Amino acid sequence: METDLICMGCGVPLQTEEEEKLGYIPKTKLSDPDRDLVCKRCFQLRHYNKQQPVSVDSDEFLNMVSKISQTDSLVVHLIDIFDVEGTLLKSLPRIVGKNPILLVGNKVDLLPKSTNQNKLKNWLLKMAKDAGIKVLDVYLISSQKGYHLNELAMRMETERKNKDIYVVGVTNVGKSTFINQFIKRSTGVKEAITTSYFPGTTLGFIHIPLDDKSALIDTPGIMNKNQMAHYVSKQDLKIITPKKEIKPRNYQLNSGQTLFIGGLVRFDFVKGDKQTFVCYFANELLVHRTKLEKADSLYEKQLGKLLTPPDEETLKTLPKLVKQSYRITDEYTDVVFPGLGWITILSGNVTIDVHSPKGIGISIRKSFNR
Ligand code: GDP
């Protein structure tokens, strides 16, 4: 139910239906005389100093965040290093206008420790550049483990030149975790609890004071629909989401061999010399190797059994697999399954068929190890 009340924290209309959306307040709290009328997101921030993720749809998102272009500020764009294609906002230049951008790759703890951080940084810079996004610099952090947060905080302080900082990112990149860490570390902790909505500021933006004149401003996220996470059950999501450092798994394959990633995607090595394929997926997600000629019947018989996830619940909604063929010439090329992981083709000069659920866009990219 949409109410005609507004949140005293961020100014959005209060509603009692959708917990992940802006302005949610539990029905029972609406009539609680001891409670200020604030949405759950503002309530959590005030009382627990905790930032709560929310998301909005794409038109609403663009409408809201484009207001940043009319400000004079620093922008921190947070992306998920495990899903760069799905989380790097191509519309960022339009959203932020002339304001300077720091690009921040979060969840770096998930990549193998042996990853060359300099190469990774340059690789991200290039991805941003190719997408038409000009950035001041790139930082690789882990909001969860606290890696490189101090360096980033210091850089934010020098770059902002006493102005506001806007934090922008797609849902699930770890924006709330990042802001919580930031609040914990900054001196603005006490003030954060009493933050309230100032007329004239954009509805739904949360201001966390940095000093008397400026604030760190959290903006709502946008859902990334081209992601495996939208098609699987809660249980399966736990399995496919990496929680610890990924151990790359090497497969020496001859042409005519197939890899199944659980039963969610299928990768056929159709043509090319024997070579190594490196799988980067959550350690709990099993990879099955089989002969290409047996792959169809294995899938038919074992989907949801040996080839799992999908579990029973996911099977009810998972779109059918669709096949796409690629001819890959370059060495160290990644085939990326958004939100699930990727396979690095080491030598190149291969033809592959990739089968993925309809709606999940595969992308091909240069590996950060090249
Ligand atoms: P938001 O939607 O962008 O606000 O994202 P959240 O802060 O709610 O985080 C989304 C998920 O990513 C949660 O399961 C977090 O525990 C996880 N997460 C956030 N930061 C990190 C990180 O640095 N490393 C890892 N491995 N996971 C993270």
Residue of 172, 219, 224 with the most ligand 1 atoms within 8 Å of its CB, for mutation: 172
- Which residue owns the Cα nearest ligand 1 atom 5? 174
pLDDT band for 195, please (50, 70, 90 cuts).
Answer: very low
CA proximity to 8, closest of 33, 34, 43, 32: 43
Which secondary structure element, helix H or strand E, spans residue 265, and what is its range?
strand 265-271
Mean pLDDT of 9-14: 80
pLDDT band for 117, please (50, 70, 90 cuts).
Answer: very high
Q: Which atom of ligand 1 is nearest to the CA of 179?
A: 7
- The confidence score (pLDDT) of residue 197 equals 47
Pick the range with the lowest mean pLDDT from 40-49, 205-214, 337-346. Answer: 40-49
Mean pLDDT of 73-78: 98
φ and ψ at 363, to 5 degrees? -130, 155
Mean pLDDT of 164-193: 78
- The confidence score (pLDDT) of residue 93 equals 94
Give the C-alpha separation, 189 to 149, whole Å: 16
Q: Which atom of ligand 1 is nearest to the CA of 141?
A: 23
- Which residue owns the Cα nearest ligand 1 atom 22? 107
175 touches ligand 1 (CB under 6 Å): yes
Mean pLDDT of 146-162: 95
- The confidence score (pLDDT) of residue 191 equals 44
- Which residue owns the Cα nearest ligand 1 atom 7? 174
Burial of 177 (0-12, 13-18, 19+ CB in 10 A): middle
Mean pLDDT of 340-345: 97
Give the C-alpha separation, 198 to 354, whole Å: 51
CA proximity to 79, closest of 25, 17, 10, 133: 133
The 10s digit of each residue's pLDDT in 239-262 is 999 999 999 999 999 999 999 999
φ and ψ at 181, to 5 degrees? -60, -40
52 touches ligand 1 (CB under 6 Å): no
Looking at residue 30, its amino acid is L
220 touches ligand 1 (CB under 6 Å): no
Mean pLDDT of 183-206: 57
Q: Which atom of ligand 1 is nearest to the CA of 180?
A: 7
Mean pLDDT of 339-357: 96
The 10s digit of each residue's pLDDT in 274-305 is 999 999 999 999 999 999 999 999 999 999 99
- Could you tell me the distance, in angstroms and rounded to a whole number, from the CA of residue 175 to the centre of ligand 1? 7
Give the C-alpha separation, 106 to 90, whole Å: 17
